[in-house]
Structure formats: C-alpha cells, structure tokens
Structure 1
Amino acid sequence: MIRPDRRGGEMTETAENGASDIRQRANRRIIAPVRPRLVRAGALMVVSGALWPVQAALVAWAIAGWVSGDAAMTPGLAAAAGFALLGFLRALLERRAGGLLFDAADATIARERRVLIEREARAESGVGSAALAALTVQKIPLLQPWITRYHVAMIRVAVLPALLFAVAFSVSWVVGLILLVAGPLIPVFMALVGLAAEQVSRRQMQEIGTMNDMLMDRLSAMTDIRLLGAAGRAAEEFAVRAETLRDRTMAVLRVAFLSSAVLELFAALGVALVAVFVGFSLLGEIRFGSWARPLTVGEGVFLLLIAPEFFQPLRDLAAAWHDRAAGLAVVEELEALDARPRRPIVGKGDPSAPLPGALNLCLSGAVAVLPAAKVRLPDLTVGAGQSVAITGPSGAGKSTTLAAIAGLVPLADGRIEVCGRVLADDTADAWRARLALVPQHPHFSDVALGDWLDPGGCGSDPWAALRAADAEDVVRRLPGGLSARLGETGGGLSGGEARRLMLARAVLSGAELILADEPTADLDADTARRIIAALLGLTGEGRTVVVATHDPVLADAMAMRVEVPA
C-alpha cells in the first residue's frame, strides 16, 4: 500500500511542479515585458481605491448632520462638493490606469502575433493553418483580460483590504473582526476552484483548435465529399464536435459560476453581519464593539459604506482568476508550438537587392533537411535561358529540390552555388530577389488582381506579362478585369487559368529564374499545352525555367531532364 501512495504522491508533485513551471514561464513571457506599466496602473488604482474612505467619511458626516437636526445647508453642500471632486479625481486615475493596461495588452498581443506569424513564415512547424489561425485570431486575444484585470486586481488585493480593515477597525473592533474572518475565506475557496478552472480552460482551448482543423479539412475536401455523397456524415461529425465544444465551454462557465457563488456568499454574509451589528448598535440593543463609547450614526453609515468596498478587490480578483486560467492555457499552447521541430529557411527572409553576377545554378551532392527526414537532391548545373525538368516518383523530393534551390530548405550536406557563390545565410535573400516560385496550389491575396500581379509596387504595365503567360483572355473575362478580387484559391478560375496568372506574376516581378512545381498537374491536354508554351516562351526571353513534374510531355519539352535520386 505504501508504494502506490508514493507513486501517486510523486505524480501529484510532478503535476504541481509542471503547473508552477508554466506559470513562471508565462510570467516571464507575458507579464515581465510590460510589468512597469502594470505596476503604474496598479498604483493608480490603489490610490483611487484609497480615496473611497474619504468619500465615505464625507457622506457619513453629511447624513449625521441631517439626523442630528442641523438645518444649515453648508455642511451638506461642502460634503457633496468634496464627494464630487474626489469622484472626478478617481475617474481620472482609473482612466489613466485603464489606458496603461490596454496599451500593455495591445503591445503584448501584437508582439505574440508578430513572432508567431514571422516564425511560421520563416520556419514551418507543420501545424495546420486552421490551428494557427485559431491561435492567432481567437486564443491570443484571451491574453488581454489576463493582463488588464488580473495583475491590477492582485495589487489592489495586496493593499486595499488591509487599508480598509485598519480604517474599519479604528471605528469598531467587532466590524474589524467580521472582516478579518470573512475576507480570507474568499481567496482560499477561489484558489481551490481556480485549479479546476485551469484544467477546463485548457480543454476548451484544445477543442477550439481541433474544431478549426476539422473545418479547414472538410472545406478543402468539399468537392470530394459531395461527389461521394458524404455530406450527411460530415454534418454529423461537425455536430458531434460542436457538441463537445459546447460541453467544454459550459464546463468553463460552471466553474466560473461556482466561484462567483462562493465569493458572493461570503461577501454577502460579511456585509450583512456588519449591517446587523450597526443596526442593533444604533437601536441601543448592542452596547459593545466600538471604542469607549456607543456607535454614532455617522460612524455606522461610514462602516456600512466601507464594508462592501473591503470585499470589492477580492471580488475583482476572483473574476480575474478565470482570465488568468485562460491566459495560462494560451501560453501553454504557444510554448508547445515554440518547442516543435521546424524547417528553417536559409537567410532572414528580408527584402534585399538582387545578387550580382551572371545567373547560374549548381547543385552538387546536396542533401536537404526536413523535420522528419533527409532528402538527397539531384546534381544539376543550369545557366541563363536554359530549361530543366526535375522528375521522379511521388515523394522522391522534386518539390524539396525546388525549395532547396530557393533557399527555403537548409542542407545537411553538399552545396548549392548560385551566381558563382555558395547559397548561404549571407546570399539567400539576394538570390531570392532574382527568382520566382510558382507553387502547385495557387494562392491569391485579398487585393485587386492588378496589385496582386505587382506585389513590389513597381507600377509596370501587367499586360505584357499577361501576354507572355498566355493569360490575357483570363483577365478580360473576369468581372472588373484587373480590379477583380479573387478568392484565396482563385474562385471562379480553372486550375490552368490560376497557374497562368501565377506565371504572369512571376514574369512581372522581373525574375530571371522561374521555379514551377507541377505546373501542368491535373490539367486537360489543351490547357497543359498552353502552360508549356508559356514556359518555353519565357526561356526564349532569356529566363531560366526549372520545373518539377510527373508530366512526360512537359519533361520532354524542357531542354534537360534530371531524375531525383532514389
């Protein structure tokens, strides 16, 4: 019986250490960079809260005067003016604190989004675009309430309850005792409930990512789903996944309502006990609890106004505790993404002037590094105005060869020479300025087609490039022509039309080397013929064309053919 207990204890200790570790890393990553602003905001909120006893004293003074029969309006007007002035000052302090907090949150969210997007663009992790989109758009913004509410609530809890307790205790030791007993019970139960809050928030974050992955997968396969008559089954799978997300969201809400109920219970009991004591003291039924004399009306009103504010920082902290749990779940997911193996690009991926020298390309004994494998690349030498077809079975490394030529995949062995220099970190960005990559699956940005064709904004006439790519008729048929906005995958265009537009974009960029990945895949014979003619036309203009292909017609049309080694 001892050994199982020991193992259970070790597992619990390990889990606790892991939770503590993620909290420490989250604080270093999220809170530490903006801590000065959080501290300033917290100090402003503490000053604002510390002004309330003064306002309460003014109200109590005015009410005590009215009860005593003082007919003069001066004390009441003075109290009202003082109360309004202090209220205005508190509003200014809280507005400034809010500005600091939201500036800190916006800076943190912008930084995390920028780091995530730039890193994924330069070194892919293999995580699906849906999961990345969910993390970027839905989950990272959950850091905002954690930053804007939790840490300020912690600062207020550290100062204001002690201050208000001291003020209340100076008037009545019984009220001080009530607050001393009821106050600490709230954070104790809040911490117990908070352990469950972190777990359910983590499950909810995971389910959001899973749902987005499923959505993207089904949308990409929508045509096949309809052809196979599987639309009903896909809808049932969505219903099951949506119900799972609903259950996990409701679990988060149940924990939130549970903690709120516990908090309100103890806060209400504390305030009620203070009200009972004050009421019976003013009626003369209780003759103890104040210092050396009966409780006065002004003191009673003052205590009634202080009691709710004593619990308010604790209530704010309890509400922010769930924001912290959600924020920790997001940070845990960001850390997991940081730790994934990646495929970095060569160079920095920054804009650069073109690499000088005559265009030439030489691969010699090159072995590319992928996250899960190493791929041998074919030996290859090509110069300006030449055309090469890279062939081989599926999965052999044709697309990887194109990526390595573009410096998008690092090498484990061998070398790639470009323009007489080794392709490395100091030459990759300049080398990429001389080439254009035409992927197998076109992607169109949400801009006018004319702007998409000219991403560098050079202002060149696109029609010459469209003619070179045999794509003039494609643009003329589009509603709006060059002003048209295509969907992400080129909705309304055939595969061949989309690829001809990609070729036109490459031509307009001025690229001397065109890398095309399966440019004729899944096209009918006539469309494939037009793509091949456009590629040969580019070589006639002195450009170099390297294609990865299974198409024997395209391979035969190229001047050279290179097989990827098995």
Structure 2
Amino acid sequence: MVRRCQAARNRPPRNASEPRFQSDEASGDQGQDRLHRPQEAALRGDVIVIGAGTINMRSGSGTPPAASCPSASARTGSTSLADEGLSDDRPKRSARTLLGPALQVAASLLWIPQAALISLSVGDIAAGGDIDAVLINAGGVLALGIVRAVVDALGGRVAYRQARALLSHHRRDALATLAARSPLDAGRPGSGLAASTLGEQAEAIVPYLARFQPARLRASIVPLAILGCVFVWSWVAALVLLIAAPLIPIFMALIGWRAKAASEAQLVELGGMNAFLLDRLRGLATIRSLDAVDLTANRLRTDAESLRTRTMAVLRIAFLSSAVLELFAALGVAMVAVYVGFHLLGQLPFGAWGSKLSLSEGLFILLLAPAFFEPLRDLSAVWHDRAAGEAALEALQRLAQKGERLPGAADGASADKPSSLAPLSVRVENLRFRHAGQRAPVFDGFGLTVAAGEHVALLGPSGTGKSTLLALLAGLSLPESGRIVIAGETLTDRNASLLRRRIAWIGQTPHVFAGTLAGNVSLGRSDVGRAAIQSALQSVGLEEVAARRGAVPVGENGVGLSGGEASRLALARVAVAPQTGLVLVDEPTAHLDTRTAAAIADALIALARGRTLIVATHDPVLAARMDRIVRLAPSPLEDAA
C-alpha cells in the first residue's frame, strides 16, 4: 500500500557568503553546484553509481546539477580509499617531523664557533701572533663552513619532504571525507571550490611547513643562544640586542594579523573565481543560447580585477613586514657597533663586566650581532607563507569536516563477486525521511513493494520525492525511521556497501569523463574486458558511434556526444555489470526527442530483462511500458496498473 508523501518545502537559504554557481545567468546565480562523485565507484570502490545526477536538495527531486570530479585520482573505480593508505598512520609532530627544522637550527648555531675562530684569527694577526695558529683557525672556519652548508641543505630537504608528506595526508583526509559524504548531503562543497582547495590552494601548505616553521624555530632558539654568548662578554651589547629584539615580533604579529585576513580573503576570492569559471565552461552552450556571453565576460573581468586587488593587498603587507624588520635590525646592529667601537677607543669603558674588551672579543660580538637578527630576517621573508599556509590549511580542514555520511562508506571495496545474480525484491515499510535543515519530510509513512524482476514506474510532479526515493533505495542515505528491505535484507549501515554491489543507479544527467568510450564504460575496472565493452556498446546501440570515433576521446561532461548518446553510455555501464539485480533510473528520456526517447526506452527495457527495474519519469509513454505504475503526489497516493 502506497501512503501519502509530502514534498520538501521551505528549505532555509544557504549562507550568503558561500559561492553559488549556475550556468544560466538569468537565474541570478541561485543554483549550487555540488561535488558529485559520478564514477563507477565514485563514493566507494564497490558502489555501482552510474551517472552523476543526484537529488535536487530544494524539492526532493527534479533536475540534478552537473557532476564533476575534484581530482584525477578520484576517478579510479576499482580502488578503495583503504587501498590508498587511508589508515591510522597519520603524520604526527614528533621527533621525526622536527628533524628538518632541528638540522637547520644546528646549522645556524654553527656560526657561533665560526665567528669565534674568525675573531681569534684577526686578533692573532693584529697582535703579530704565530701564523700556524692562524692557519689552524682558518682551517677550522672552512671545515665548520662545509659542515654548516651540508647540515643546512640536508635540513631543508628533510623539511620539504616532511611538508609534502603532511600535505598528502591532509589531501587524502579531505578526499576520504568528501568521498564518504552522501550525495544527499546539502552541505557538500561545490566541485570548483573543492578542486581549487585541493589543488593550487593546498600547495601553499608546503612553503608554510618547509620554510616558515623551520624559520620560526630558528627565530626562537638561535637569537637566545647568541644573546647568551654576547652576555658573557658584554652586558651592554646584550641589553641593546634584548631591547631591539622584542620590537620585531610585536610589529610582525600586528602585521601578521592583517596579512592572514588578507590572505584568507584572497583564497576565498580565488576559490570563488575558479568555481565560477568551471561552472560557466560547463554551461557554455546554455550561455550562448541565452545570449549571455557579454554578461558572463563582464562578470569574469570584474572577478579577475577583484582577485588582482586582493593579491596586491597581500603582497603590500608582506613588503611592509620586511621593511619594519630591516629597520629595527639595522638600528640594533648599528647600536652594538657604536658601543663596541667607542668601548675599544676607551670612550665607553663600562659594560664588559669590569674589564675592557679585547679586539677579538669586540669582533666576536660584532660578528654575532647580525647573526642575532638573521633568523628574524628569515622569518620576515617567509611571513607571508604563514598567512597563505594557515588559510589553506583551514580550507582543507573545512573540506575534511564530516557531513551526512554515505552508509557503508567505511567498508571499502571488495573483490568478491556476489554469489547470486537473481533479481532483487524491494520492500519499503513506513518510510520517513527529510533532508538536513528541512522541517517538512519528503516521506512520512511511505510504503512500497516491488517483486523481484518487476518493472515499476514512479510518476508524479516535481517535488514529490521520486529522485529521493531512488537515492534511498540505492543506499545513498538512511531513513529517519521505517525500513528499506532489499532481497530480504534490511538496508543498514553495516550491509549498505554489500547491497550496493548489486544495485545500479543511473542519475538524470549521466556524467561522461574525458576519455574514450571504452574507458567511460569500464570506468577503470580491470575485470571488464574489451569483448564485454563491445557487447555492452552494441546492446545499447552505440556500436556505430564507437566505430566512427575509434580511439578519439570524448570531452569532459560528454562534449562530442549528444544527450541520447550520453544516456546510452550510462546504460552500457550497467550492461558490463552482470551482478546487477536492481536498476534505478532517474528520468532516462528527459529532454530527448520522441524517436531518441523510444530508442532509449527499448534499450533500457532490454537491459532490465531479468532484473528489477524502478524508473522515475514524467514520460507517460515510458511508464506505460512498465509492469506497474506508482503515482507519487502531494495528495493521497494510489497505485495504477
């Protein structure tokens, strides 16, 4: 008995600060491009999700947005996230992660004995000392210089490798979280924003970890060590350095707060522009048909100018911080030099612990004074890396925030083939489901029974939950209450991954990747051979298209294919999966001419022979060819045969 179901209404608006994208300029940019994972196992390696269409989060059904993939690495369907090393071996800030910065600190500290040997050599030469002692000191300076260069280079290389490893971890973590989020999750980020964050924005983490953090460690250790050495010989010189040093971090912190805010604003602008450009490229045909090319070009030009302004603001703050540091460093070194010079001349006889500095001691202090400010100068040079790196790290962490989870996403892929190839029965009992953030449920007390091998059409106006029902049957989300029983097993988080191995879900807008037709059919699965691909293409009427194109690749989103050919390609993906016992299809004949729609219907019915088929459609001709029609409406539902 099919019960009353309510359409979802009054969905609260999204945050105005979030980027919005839509191909149609006339819509006022109110659409939201989601990061959908359309590949063979877009969400997990063992999920058969054919096509990129998902649920319109405003109504519970309707037209799904276009799909995209944020990373080429996400396009391999036979690889689960567990296979990619997503285990608990997370990089930790331990002695190993500090090895690179520690080596660089050690290299900087080696300047202290070098300066001591240089000052002793100059003192011996001025006093007419033994040339052998001078040569020995010179050899020591050379040896320490070589060791210092080697240790510094090794520390830089180790720090860079550790930074790359940590970046890879954060990227995998973000991808794992995105892959584990249900397509019904309204909070999934836009594909352009996710791709921008995972790609170019995330690269800002490397200089932050490889350059800024070692520089910060040197700035916190080396000046203190040098200050202690200077204090041993002259408390006045140490006092001058001590007074000059705190002024630099204070002003750097003040400037850094502004730099971080400016860098975050720049990254938001960059992500929004990337998402805008990606969406407009996808909808280029629509833009041309609406004569909105000039409007789009003006919008892109305005966004580019805004991005340039924000980028220059970040650079302006970075240059300002360098100027402030150089000013205080120059003043500090100059004051120390003035004191040492006048002390050696006898004009300032105090500050050396009751004695007079020798030439070697004074030169030693003078050599250490610039080195005291050098770590601070290096820190200033990479200060903008901190702002960009922390902003990028926060953006990655936002991507890694958990949302509505795909049931069974943690189970991983399985190479075991199902023991049974029989069609699957479906039973829905007292189903209640609502989208996150919505008050009105899409389904409340809904029931449906589909026998194994039966072909059922779901008819009803937009907003009655046809697409949502298909997604729930595909195990893309779990209901609030009630049961979904597939082949006698209640769909739960524990068995969702296993059940999805025998379910094919074809979205309303099947996604086509850039590549050959054969590659788009197999979707990277090693168990799909050439003969199976050719047979699948022939079964859906694409053999002539395949012969005509040969090895010529199609473009992203099906550029080079018609709408009907893209729909046939989605059916071919099901044809190479003989274990499929339940086929869920959303609007397969939408936006097609009568002849093409009839051909798609013929191919679909032939493909579903011996399988259970549930199709959501507005096409009465296609619905009439099913065994049974279930009508969904805001009013009491009724079955029609």
Question: TM-score band (shorter)?
Answer: 0.7 to 0.9
Aligned residue for 2:121? 62
Aligned CA RMSD, in angstroms, stands at 2.7
SS in 2 for 1:388: strand
Q: Answer yes or no: is the 8 Å Cα contact 1:37–1:100 preserved in 2.
A: no
Q: Answer yes or no: is the 8 Å Cα contact 1:389–1:549 preserved in 2.
A: yes
**Mapped pair 1:112 → 2:170:** yes
Residues 432/340 of structure 1: CA separation in 2 closer, same or farther (3 Å cut): closer
Aligned residue for 1:86? 144
SS in 2 for 1:59: helix
Out of 115, 122, 125, the residue aligned to residue 180 of structure 2 is 122
Determine the C-alpha separation between the residues in 2 that align with 1:117 and 1:219.
24
Out of 590, 604, 610, the residue aligned to residue 535 of structure 1 is 604
Determine the C-alpha separation between the residues in 2 that align with 1:278 and 1:347.
69
Determine the C-alpha separation between the residues in 2 that align with 1:564 and 1:343.
27
Out of 425, 442, 464, the residue aligned to residue 360 of structure 1 is 425
Which deviates further from its counterpart, 234-243 or 58-67?
58-67
Q: Answer yes or no: is the 8 Å Cα contact 1:347–1:426 preserved in 2.
A: no
Determine the C-alpha separation between the residues in 2 that align with 1:414 and 1:267.
71
Q: Answer yes or no: is the 8 Å Cα contact 1:56–1:306 preserved in 2.
A: yes
SS in 2 for 1:475: helix
**Mapped pair 1:550 → 2:634:** no
Gaps of 5+ in 1: 1-30
Aligned residues: 531
Determine the C-alpha separation between the residues in 1 that align with 2:479 and 2:490.
12
Task: Give 1:312 shift.
Answer: 1.5
**Mapped pair 1:322 → 2:391:** no
Out of 519, 534, 545, the residue aligned to residue 474 of structure 1 is 545
Determine the C-alpha separation between the residues in 2 that align with 1:148 and 1:296.
41
Task: Give 1:255 shift.
Answer: 1.6
Aligned residue for 1:203? 265
Task: Give 1:144 shift.
Answer: 2.4
Q: Answer yes or no: is the 8 Å Cα contact 1:343–1:371 preserved in 2.
A: no
Determine the C-alpha separation between the residues in 2 that align with 1:210 and 1:405.
34
SS in 1 for 2:442: strand
Out of 244, 247, 251, the residue aligned to residue 313 of structure 2 is 251
Q: Answer yes or no: is the 8 Å Cα contact 2:99–2:159 preserved in 1.
A: no
Task: Give 1:294 shift.
Answer: 4.6
Task: Give 1:343 shift.
Answer: 5.5
Task: Give 1:338 shift.
Answer: 5.6
Q: Answer yes or no: is the 8 Å Cα contact 1:354–1:430 preserved in 2.
A: no
Aligned residue for 1:430? 498
Task: Give 1:232 shift.
Answer: 1.4
Residues 156/166 of structure 1: CA separation in 2 closer, same or farther (3 Å cut): same
SS in 1 for 2:556: coil
Gaps of 5+ in 2: 1-89, 635-641
Aligned residue for 1:216? 278
Which deviates further from its counterpart, 37-46 or 130-139?
37-46
Give me the TM-score of the superposition, normalised by structure 2: 0.77
Task: Give 1:504 shift.
Answer: 0.9
Determine the C-alpha separation between the residues in 1 that align with 2:396 and 2:527.
38
Out of 564, 580, 587, the residue aligned to residue 496 of structure 1 is 564
Looking at secondary structure, tell me which structure has more helix per residue: 1
Residues 322/205 of structure 1: CA separation in 2 closer, same or farther (3 Å cut): same
Determine the C-alpha separation between the residues in 1 that align with 2:177 and 2:435.
16
One-letter identity of the residue aligned with 1:539: A
Deviations 1:400-429 (A, max 9, x none): 121111100211122111121111122211
**Mapped pair 1:417 → 2:475:** no
SS in 1 for 2:475: coil
Aligned residue for 2:328? 266
Greater RCO (CA < 8 Å, at least 6 residues apart)? 2
Q: Report the identity percentage.
A: 42
Determine the C-alpha separation between the residues in 2 that align with 1:69 and 1:170.
26
Out of 47, 59, 62, the residue aligned to residue 106 of structure 2 is 47
Task: Give 1:194 shift.
Answer: 1.9
Aligned residue for 2:5? none
One-letter identity of the residue aligned with 1:323: D
Aligned residue for 2:25? none
Out of 512, 526, 529, the residue aligned to residue 444 of structure 1 is 512
Aligned residue for 1:17? none
Trace 1:68-467 onto structure 2 (pairs within 5 A). 68-69=127-128, 72=131, 74-123=132-181, 124=185, 125-281=187-343, 287-291=349-353, 294-334=356-396, 336-337=398-399, 342=404, 344-348=406-410, 350-352=412-414, 353=416, 356=419, 358=422, 359-373=424-438, 374-376=441-443, 379-454=447-522, 455-460=524-529, 461=531, 462-467=533-538
One-letter identity of the residue aligned with 1:171: W
Aligned residue for 2:583? 514
Aligned residue for 2:82? none
One-letter identity of the residue aligned with 2:315: L
Give me the TM-score of the superposition, normalised by structure 1: 0.86
Which deviates further from its counterpart, 440-449 or 455-464?
440-449
Task: Give 1:78 shift.
Answer: 2.4
Determine the C-alpha separation between the residues in 2 that align with 1:535 and 1:235.
41
Determine the C-alpha separation between the residues in 2 that align with 1:550 and 1:143.
49
SS in 2 for 1:411: coil
Residues 108/218 of structure 1: CA separation in 2 closer, same or farther (3 Å cut): same
SS in 2 for 1:33: coil
Deviations 1:373-401 (A, max 9, x none): 43228643334443222222123212112
Determine the C-alpha separation between the residues in 2 that align with 1:216 and 1:95.
41
Deviations 1:288-324 (A, max 9, x none): 5545555444334322321111012222333444333
Q: Answer yes or no: is the 8 Å Cα contact 1:281–1:295 preserved in 2.
A: yes
Determine the C-alpha separation between the residues in 1 that align with 2:496 and 2:418.
9
Residues 336/240 of structure 1: CA separation in 2 closer, same or farther (3 Å cut): same
Aligned residue for 2:47? none
Residues 128/490 of structure 1: CA separation in 2 closer, same or farther (3 Å cut): same
